[in-house]
Structure 1
């Protein structure tokens, strides 16, 4: 072999190696970006397509067999999530609605106040309020309503020529009053009109989730768990909640022995795919544990108190430098991930608050504004300029425009609107 041929061969070997590592790296990054719920689906789908792979379920999944139902029954969660994936919405709205879907109860209601949900996610109250209407209008209509009255109102407003009396009753949140005929004298409508309205309301569906299988209800699987044992903070991943991929070596050896050509290559590819996915899952866990330990040190005070005031400023750049990782790797590691701590589940991104002013995070500034407005004189609400002045007294310098932005993110009206609403 000539020198030129040897050089060419080395170049080819380097190219093959680079391409192989690149493909492996791509898979590792893709798996890292999956939430635990998404990874669970990927693992399940992979086991169904690879003839040598089976699943070893977590022990807690085998303690109750009530989840076994007819395969013809559609799961509510999958039904809703498939609509979100196909919807022509921006990615932020899709993420918000996906988060809200996981908060639904078994009847399909969202019985948690949005202000409380805001504490679990990086999205603002204003973003949650603007997006929830899209959830309400998924199929089944009325899903994600806060209560029965709201659920029926959502459905009624979409129907053409729906009874106007019934619509007015629902808009005024008087469903319970209508259910008690003894109080009908307090309505402005006649008994006959109320009977017709009641009949119209009975055509609506009070339980949108009733047509779907809810026995297989899925819940958010936290990607990281923080737990205090005395003063020690422990961190663990969600791997023990996920099914484990198991490769049947005996069957693979038998099939390899009795095959040749393209069949043999196919079997080898199945084992290679299994190995690469297992390695990517292991790499994902290792990265998440490293990230969890780092976050635990930085945000220990918050994880102990769960008070937003105790959050420390933390950005991706600093985290990447300290962990010797690429910023894109850290970004994928926190993407769509959730954390469990002291029985509460919240977004991992919540632990990466951005700097707002001085040493304050954006969440801390929001809390300061919210607290001022909460304690204001309702007859003479604080203007944005007054909020700015009060902040300056505490050596917090914010512009009027910035205060207005945070106020709107909190879903709080301006001083004139608050005064008008109070009167």
Structure 2
């Protein structure tokens, strides 16, 4: 058998991810905050890009110069624009780049100078927003203030600052004292003494090393409770029933195994319940009131409103910089004073990059509106009547509806929000699995709707006799929802609803 060597020619097509295409895809999946940061970065990196002033933005509709600018920005991409309305940047083979030698035509209709369009810098004279904000007092500052007013010696205050600096956000000292004083000359007994002083500071329970110690510190401030005193059995337990539960039965208390606690302490269940009321009033995290975690306001990417009987999708571009080609460089290049060949080549490359950024942003906005409009079409009953009418929806349905790829839909809906009559919702909220209905096998019920049904059942249940997962499943089946007990348990856990044994109340 002989082997022959030969050459074959083969033609094939493949999609090449150019840097410009990668940039367009990246812009598509950015959240609103990330997009704002990215646009600011582009404005800093590319001298050709300029932010449209507010006063110019208001008059741009009637300005022939601005209209000429917009027309020029897309003059070299007419064929691409027609295609872009049907597909995303990632679905086109290669981007249609601006002509390298066409910059003279690009600027020939605009002879303005950029000197008169600078925004006033008078705003720099005012303090920033952060400077006007009131700084919340931290737990560390609150404790250091009390330490400075205490009667401790200077060395004890040094130890106190060391201890306070090692407290976590909840107010606990999680590390051993030997590790705290490692590398110092302080004795552990001396540090222990200062820690006892810090444990008398506000908030009560601060400086504890574990949960039982934290609760006992608070109990000590309340005074010894006479509830369930075990004075009739001296030596059996030290202190009250409350202290015994805190020291030995917190796990049983968490699982609401009151009978087990009563049997172990040889007391009645009623006495255990009275002690439990006191323990539930204590604070397991003393540093909670000083938590400086800020709740950031979510700005929606789109608004969905009803106008003349139809649902309309409005893009929210408030706060995002409106970009254009810099008037200064327009005037410079149009006058033919761009300098050497290298300078002209650099400006030409920056022009193409600026055009691509502007086109990518426009395409991103069109794609978001197109995807949200499709979601609104599928979920119209939800917008009309609420979550109980939410339908099961997958990415493939929207992709087929608007003629795009599923990966594009996934990028568009990631980290983006919609404001509608039902509230502020993430776009991912509308994509969910479905459960079959017994009365209408062809009609699926959204898993989000079923979760809401479970939440309402639990909210309306008798706290003394909470619904078990099997009972919830049976009630849902009575409402023609085909669901298994394990699915109910899954949805209940996803809604952070504890099991029936932990929801049961005895008082």
The TM-score bracket by the shorter chain reads: 0.5 to 0.7
> What is the DSSP-based 3-state SS (H/G/I as helix, E as strand, rest coil) of the residue aligned with 1:235?
strand
Aligned length: 314
Mapped to 1, the partners of 2:200 and 2:53 lie a distance apart of 53
Structure 1 residues 310 and 186, CA gap change in structure 2 (3 angstroms): same
Structure 1 residues 167 and 140, CA gap change in structure 2 (3 angstroms): closer
> What is the DSSP-based 3-state SS (H/G/I as helix, E as strand, rest coil) of the residue aligned with 2:396?
helix
Residue 429 of structure 2: aligned partner: 350
Task: Tell me the TM-score normalised to structure 2 length.
Answer: 0.52
Among 306, 310, 331, the residue aligned to 2:389: 310
Listed one character per residue, the Cα deviations across residues 205-261 of structure 1 (whole Å, up to 9, x for unaligned) are: 95848xxxx9xx974331111111242211111235421112125525626744334
Structure 1 residues 37 and 72, CA gap change in structure 2 (3 angstroms): closer
Unaligned runs of 5+ in 2: 1-8, 59-118, 143-166, 176-194, 213-217, 225-285, 438-443
Residue 128 of structure 1: aligned partner: none
Listed one character per residue, the Cα deviations across residues 276-313 of structure 1 (whole Å, up to 9, x for unaligned) are: 110100101111111122122222222234x2112121
Residue 198 of structure 1: aligned partner: none
Q: Report the aligned-residue RMSD.
A: 4.6
Mapped to 1, the partners of 2:129 and 2:476 lie a distance apart of 59
> What is the DSSP-based 3-state SS (H/G/I as helix, E as strand, rest coil) of the residue aligned with 1:156?
coil
Mapped to 2, the partners of 1:362 and 1:67 lie a distance apart of 52
- Is 2:329 aligned against 1:293? no
Note the 1:50-69 alignment, pairs <5 A. Answer: 50-56=46-52
Note the 1:368-379 alignment, pairs <5 A. Answer: 368-379=453-464
Note the 1:225-236 alignment, pairs <5 A. Answer: 225-236=303-314
Structure 1 residues 304 and 355, CA gap change in structure 2 (3 angstroms): same
- Is 2:237 aligned against 1:187? no
> What is the DSSP-based 3-state SS (H/G/I as helix, E as strand, rest coil) of the residue aligned with 1:227?
strand
Residue 390 of structure 1: aligned partner: 475
Residue 332 of structure 2: aligned partner: 254
Residue 340 of structure 1: aligned partner: 419
Mapped to 2, the partners of 1:232 and 1:188 lie a distance apart of 65
Structure 1 residues 422 and 153, CA gap change in structure 2 (3 angstroms): farther
- Pick the structure with more helix per residue: 1
Mapped to 1, the partners of 2:42 and 2:301 lie a distance apart of 20
Between 1 and 2, higher relative CO (CA 8 Å, sep ≥ 6) is seen in 1
Mapped to 1, the partners of 2:325 and 2:470 lie a distance apart of 66
> What is the DSSP-based 3-state SS (H/G/I as helix, E as strand, rest coil) of the residue aligned with 1:222?
coil
Task: Tell me the TM-score normalised to structure 1 length.
Answer: 0.61
Mapped to 2, the partners of 1:27 and 1:367 lie a distance apart of 40
Structure 1 residues 205 and 266, CA gap change in structure 2 (3 angstroms): farther
- Is 2:446 aligned against 1:411? no
User: Residue 169 of structure 2 contacts residue 288 of structure 2 at CA under 8 Å; is this kept in 1?
Assistant: no
User: Residue 27 of structure 2 contacts residue 361 of structure 2 at CA under 8 Å; is this kept in 1?
Assistant: yes
Mapped to 1, the partners of 2:309 and 2:131 lie a distance apart of 46
Residue 360 of structure 2: aligned partner: 280
> What is the DSSP-based 3-state SS (H/G/I as helix, E as strand, rest coil) of the residue aligned with 2:303?
strand
CA drift at 1:354: 2.4
Residue 450 of structure 2: aligned partner: 365
Mapped to 2, the partners of 1:385 and 1:204 lie a distance apart of 37
Structure 1 residues 68 and 219, CA gap change in structure 2 (3 angstroms): farther
Among 277, 297, 317, the residue aligned to 1:239: 317
Mapped to 2, the partners of 1:40 and 1:345 lie a distance apart of 20
Mapped to 2, the partners of 1:107 and 1:392 lie a distance apart of 53
CA drift at 1:265: 2.7
User: Residue 324 of structure 2 contacts residue 358 of structure 2 at CA under 8 Å; is this kept in 1?
Assistant: no
CA drift at 1:167: 5.2
User: Residue 157 of structure 1 contacts residue 167 of structure 1 at CA under 8 Å; is this kept in 2?
Assistant: no
- Is 2:356 aligned against 1:321? no
Note the 1:71-220 alignment, pairs <5 A. Answer: 154-157=169-172, 161=195, 162-163=198-199, 166=202, 168=204, 187-188=222-223, 206=290, 208=292, 219-220=297-298
Listed one character per residue, the Cα deviations across residues 312-369 of structure 1 (whole Å, up to 9, x for unaligned) are: 2111011101111000011111010000123932211112232244411111111111
User: Residue 43 of structure 1 contacts residue 243 of structure 1 at CA under 8 Å; is this kept in 2?
Assistant: yes
CA drift at 1:43: 1.0
Q: Which moved more, 1:352-361 or 1:277-286?
A: 352-361
Among 16, 23, 29, the residue aligned to 1:27: 23
Unaligned runs of 5+ in 1: 1-7, 77-105, 110-135, 142-151, 173-177, 179-184, 190-201
User: Residue 392 of structure 2 contacts residue 447 of structure 2 at CA under 8 Å; is this kept in 1?
Assistant: no
CA drift at 1:155: 4.7
Mapped to 2, the partners of 1:68 and 1:219 lie a distance apart of 27
